[in-house]
Structure formats: structure tokens, C-alpha cells
């Protein structure tokens, strides 16, 4: 849900673990930044801020997009062919569109995906009067 | 696990949902930035980058710390007294220390906490030769 609304504060948090990915891709700051931003656009999310960090030659990358709808993050371990991605989106953003795009882009040999609903109990607390 | 090592790429991802928090706290960019950074320090994590965004007067805050050990994020909905926090840490960082600190600082009426192990299957893929 958009932070600027007073709708129920619920969202979907997708944890995506990708195994057997190309090591060069997982060590490329430029490619990973592009892929994560593309995924956010596929989900119709709005990017507020982006920061990606490369730990060094042939080492991993860690990065995050702050979104109007929450965030996306990626952490990679090229030496294991492994990437941990999370996508937390509220409102009308389409988490599954981002997931589909990322699986096609990273081409993992195996992956696991867990979707967790957030903020389920927030309706027990009525909005605070302005 | 540190990105600069070649150890198994496993970590713990804690999803913390806080209900019934003080609305003024949840709309304070300064206080939330301080509390999340304090929690990272309690966990013995190393901050690489920090970005927090305030959606406006009495509205929510969304923010993230990029850590050497992965990331922490917070998204708040003051009108619901609700905060969604996630803490993803690898290696020797102590996720539970961060959680204990945050519960004491936010004093939620209710909370839910889910800890998810990440990268469990990465050991099936041996390190890529340098």
C-alpha cells in the first residue's frame, strides 16, 4: 500500500534464492543494477533511491532500491553462483512480474521462492486521529 | 556470510512486523534513522550506506541500510501505528540482538517475527574456479 494513503498497511514480501547463476553476472555492478531496476519497472514500482556496492574484482555485489512501494534488494556470492533477492511491495505493484523477469534474466539452475504477507494485523489498530 | 569470503553463502532473514507503535516515532526520519543504525551496531554489523526517505508531514518513512553482512530496512505507516522491518544478515552478525533492541525501542503493542534461512542450497554448487 502506498505510504501516502490511509489504506490498510499490507504488502507482499518475496524472498527469491537463485542457485547456479553465471559468476560473471553476479560480479557485475552494472548488469545487476540494470536488471534490478528493470524488474522494479516490470512491477510498476517507483524508484526513490538506488545504491549498489561492489566488494571487488570477482567478488559479490550488494544493492538496494528504495521504492515508493517499499524496497528491492540483491546480494550475490559469485563464488557460489548464488544470489539472494528480496522484493517487498505494497499497493498495486506486481511482485510476480518482477519475479518472472528476474528468473528469465538470471537463468538459475535452481531457485526457491517464498512469499510472505506483511502487515496482516494492522487492521486491528484503527488509524490514529490526525 | 561475508561477501569477501568463500564460505557457504547462508544467512538469516528476519521479518519483524510491529503493531501499535507511537505515530510520532513512525513519522520521525531522525529517530528512525538513529534506531535502525543502533540496531545494526547491536548486531555487530558494518554499515556501507544509509538512505532514509520521509513521505511528508505525519506520513511514513522508508529507509534502508546496506550492510557488509547484507541489509536492514524499515517502512512505516504512522496512521496505522505499523512498522515493517527486515534484517538480513550473514556471517557473525547477531540478528537476535538487533531484534531485542528494536522491540525495546519501538514498544509495539503486538508484533510478529519470522526468521527465514537463506542460501540453504548453495552448497550443492561448488565454488567457481578463479
Using a 10 angstrom Cβ sphere, with 0-12 exposed, 13-18 middle and 19 or more buried, the burial of residue A20 is: middle
DSSP secondary structure letter of residue A31: H
More confident residue, B10 or A18: A18
First to last CA, chain B: 19
- Angle formed by the axes of helices B95-106 and B29-42, nearest 10°: 150
Residue B104 has pLDDT above 80, yes or no: yes
Q: Which residues of A touch B120 (CB under 8 A)?
A: 17, 112
Give all strands (DSSP E) within B1-130, no chain letters.
Answer: 11-19, 47-54, 61-67, 70-77, 82-90, 110-118
Residues whose CB falls within 8 Å of the CB of residue A37, separated by 6 or more in sequence, listed in order = A47, A50, A65
Q: ipTM of this complex > 0.90?
A: no
User: What number of C-beta contacts closer than 8 Å exist between A and B?
Assistant: 171
- Touching check for B13 and chain A: CB below 8 Å? yes
A90 is catalytic: yes
Q: How far is CA A93 from CA A116, A130, B19, in A?
A: 15, 27, 23
pLDDT given for residue A19 in this prediction = 94
pLDDT given for residue A4 in this prediction = 41
Instruction: Name the residue with cell 526517505.
Output: B53
Cα separation of A2 and B68, whole Å? 29
Cα separation of B82 and B75, whole Å? 9
Q: Which residues of B touch A109 (CB under 8 A)?
A: 125
More confident residue, B7 or A110: A110
- Touching check for A125 and chain B: CB below 8 Å? yes
pLDDT given for residue A130 in this prediction = 43
At residue B110, the 3 state secondary structure works out as strand
Residue A18 has pLDDT above 50, yes or no: yes
Cα separation of B74 and B83, whole Å? 7
Residues whose CB falls within 8 Å of the CB of residue A55, separated by 6 or more in sequence, listed in order = A61, A62, B3, B4
pLDDT digits (tens, 9 = 90+) for A35-93: 999 999 999 999 999 999 999 999 999 999 999 999 999 999 999 999 999 999 987 77
Q: What percent of chain B has pLDDT over 90?
A: 78
Select the residue from A46, A118, A129 to test the B interface by mutation, using most B Cβ atoms within 10 A.
A118
Task: Identify the H or E element spanning A86.
Answer: strand A82-90
Q: Cβ(A32)–Cβ(A61) under 8 Å?
A: yes
pLDDT given for residue A112 in this prediction = 94
The active-site residue out of A13, A21, A27, A70 is A70
The active-site residue out of B27, B70, B71, B111 is B70
More confident residue, B4 or A34: A34
Task: Identify the H or E element spanning B124.
Answer: none
Distance from CA of A69 to the nearest CA of B (A): 9
More confident residue, B10 or A73: A73
Strand partners, B116: B13
pLDDT digits (tens, 9 = 90+) for B50-98: 999 999 999 999 999 999 999 999 999 999 999 999 999 987 779 999 9
Which set of grid coordinates corresponds to residue B120? 540453504
pLDDT given for residue B9 in this prediction = 66
- Angle formed by the axes of helices A29-42 and A95-106, nearest 10°: 150
Amino acid at each position: 500500500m502506498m505510504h501516502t494513503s490511509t489504506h490498510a498497511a499490507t504488502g507482499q514480501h518475496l524472498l527469491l534464492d537463485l542457485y547456479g547463476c553465471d559468476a560473471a553476472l553476479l560480479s557485475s555492478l552494472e548488469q545487476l543494477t540494470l536488471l534490478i531496476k528493470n524488474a522494479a519497472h516490470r512491477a510498476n514500482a517507483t524508484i526513490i533511491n538506488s545504491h549498489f556496492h561492489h566488494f571487488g574484482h570477482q567478488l559479490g555485489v550488494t544493492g538496494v532500491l528504495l521504492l515508493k512501494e517499499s524496497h528491492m534488494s540483491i546480494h550475490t556470492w559469485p563464488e557460489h553462483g548464488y544470489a539472494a533477492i528480496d522484493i517487498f511491495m505494497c499497493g498495486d505493484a506486481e511482485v510476480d512480474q518482477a519475479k518472472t523477469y528476474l528468473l528469465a534474466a538470471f537463468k538459475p539452475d535452481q531457485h526457491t521462492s517464498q512469499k510472505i504477507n506483511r502487515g496482516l494485523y494492522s487492521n486491528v489498530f484503527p488509524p490514529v486521529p490526525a
